[in-house]
Amino acid sequence: MTHAFENADFQERLHVINDAETGVTGIIAIHSTAIGPAAGGCRLWHYDTQTDLVTDAIRLARGMSYKNAMAGLPFGGGKAVLQRPEGDFDRAALFRVFGEAVAALKGAYITAEDVGTTIADMRAVRRQAPYVAGLEVAEGMAGGDPSPWTALGVFESMKAAAQDVLKFDLAGATVAVQGVGNVGGRLCRLLRDAGANLIVADVDKARAAALAAELGAKHVGIDEILVADADILAPCALGGVLNADSIPDLRVRLVCGGANNQLATEADGQALVDRGILYAPDYVVNAGGIINVSAEYLGETSDQVADRVGQIAGRLLDVFRRSTEEQVPPGVMADRLAQHLIASARRRQAA
Ligand code: NAD
C-alpha cells in the first residue's frame, strides 16, 4: 500500500469534460470511493481560469467526502464543476454533455443539484445516466427539498451544544441568525417554538423584516448581525464569515449554523478557541440535506432520514468531547475523524 492511499487527502480521480462540439468544459472530481460511490452536487459557475475551476472542484469533493463520512452515509465524496458560458448558452446541450460524462463514470460518481443547477437540469442528466439524486419525491419516501432536514439537524445540534456543553437552555437564550432563506428561515421557526429570542438579518431586507414581524424577532442590518449581543450565532448565508476581521468582535458563546465553509482558514478555528467561543463544525451539523438527498437515491423512506438526522447532534457532542481530549479545535477534530473513517475504509478495500 502506498503512502498516497493512507492519506485521506488523496484525490482518486479527475474526469475532465472538454467537448469540442459544444464547447462545454468542466471537471468531475472524485475524492474518494472508499466508503461508497462518490456523491456530491454539480455546480455551474463562472471561473476566471481553468486552475480556479479545478482547485474549487478538488476542495469541494474533499468536503463532500468528509461530510458524507461524518454523516454515516454509504457514500464517498465527489463534486462536478462546470464552466458557466458567457451570455446565452444552450442549457440542454450542456447538461446532455455532463450527463454523458456521468454515464462514462459508470456509477463511481452520483450527482445532484448545487449552486447554479436545478431539478430540470438533473432531469436532463437522468436521460443520459441513472446516477442522479435530487429529483421528484413519492409519498412517504425520502426526497424533495432538503432544507427542512438541514435546519432540523442544525437546531438539534445547537440545542445539544447549548445544554450539554455550555449548560444553558435554548428557552430564553438569544440567537442571531445571518441569512433567513430556506435553511435560516426554518431554523428561526424551530428556535421560536423552543422559546429562544431571535435577531435576524438578510441582504433581502424585506424577507428578514417579514420573518421578524411573523416571529416577533429583532431585525438588524447585515453589518450588525455578526456583532449582535447574543448567546449563539447561526451563520446561514455565506461561507468564510468566521475570519480574522469578524472573530475579534463576536459577542456569542456558540457558533452553530447551516452555511458551508464558515471558517475562512483553519487558523480561524483556533482563534475561536482562543476567544472561548465553541464552534460546531459546519459539515457535521448541516448534513441533514445530503442525508435526505442520498436517501432518495437509495430509495429509503422519510422515517429513515429522520433517524439519520437524529444522530447528528450526538456526533457533534462526540467531536466536542474528542476535541477537548486531544486539545485541538472542533473543526480539526471533525476533519481527523472523517479522514480516519475514509482511511479505514480504504484499508478494508485494499485488503
Ligand atoms: P438560500 O439562498 O435559501 O438562503 C440564503 C439567504 O442568505 C438568502 O435569503 C440571502 O438573501 C441571504 N444572504 C446572502 N448574503 C447575505 C449576507 N451577507 N448577510 C445576510 N444574509 C445574506 O440558501 P439556503 O438553502 O438557505 O442555504 C444557506 C446556506 O446553507 C448556504 O451556505 C448553503 O450552502 C448551506 N447549506 C444549505 C443546505 C440546504 O439544505 N439548503 C444544506 C447544507 C448547507
Judgement on whether residues 221 and 97 belong to the same structural domain of the protein: no
The CATH number of whichever domain residue 61 belongs to comes to: 3.40.50.10860
Ligand 1 pocket, residue 262 CB under 6 Å: no
Protein residue with least CA distance to atom 20, ligand 1: 202
125 touches 17 (CB < 8 A): no
Which candidate, 60, 86, 102, 66, places its Cα nearest to that of 339? Answer: 66
What's the one-letter identity of residue 133? A
Does the global pTM surpass 0.85? yes
Catalytic position from the list 79, 106, 159, 218: 79
Report the distance separating Cα 239 and Cα 237, nearest Å.
7
Overall average pLDDT of the 277-282 stretch: 98
Pocket test of ligand 1: the residue of 115, 183, 190, 305 to mutate, having most ligand atoms within 8 Å of its CB, is: 183
Protein residue with least CA distance to atom 30, ligand 1: 259
Residue 106 falls in the annotated catalytic set: no
What's the one-letter identity of residue 249? D
- Alpha carbon separation from 41 to 62, 110, 297 (Å, rounded): 12, 8, 13
Judgement on whether residues 281 and 193 belong to the same structural domain of the protein: yes
284 touches 334 (CB < 8 A): yes
The pLDDT assigned to 294 comes to 92
The pLDDT assigned to 321 comes to 98
Q: Classify residue 141: in a domain, yes or no.
A: no
Where do we find the cell 486539545? 327
Q: Classify residue 344: in a domain, yes or no.
A: no
Q: Classify residue 230: in a domain, yes or no.
A: yes
Pocket test of ligand 1: the residue of 117, 203, 290 to mutate, having most ligand atoms within 8 Å of its CB, is: 203
23-53: pLDDT as tens digits: 999 999 999 999 999 999 999 999 999 999 9
Judgement on whether residues 194 and 328 belong to the same structural domain of the protein: yes
Domain count, the chain: 2
Judgement on whether residues 203 and 120 belong to the same structural domain of the protein: no
Judgement on whether residues 208 and 321 belong to the same structural domain of the protein: yes
Ligand 1 pocket, residue 201 CB under 6 Å: yes
Percent of the chain with pLDDT over 70: 97
48-105: pLDDT as tens digits: 999 999 999 998 999 999 999 999 999 999 999 999 999 899 999 999 999 999 999 9
The pLDDT assigned to 9 comes to 60
Domain assignment of residue 15, given as a range: 2-67+75-126
Judgement on whether residues 214 and 91 belong to the same structural domain of the protein: no
Judgement on whether residues 196 and 334 belong to the same structural domain of the protein: yes
User: Is residue 288 over pLDDT 50?
Assistant: yes
Ligand 1 pocket, residue 182 CB under 6 Å: yes
The CATH number of whichever domain residue 268 belongs to comes to: 3.40.50.720
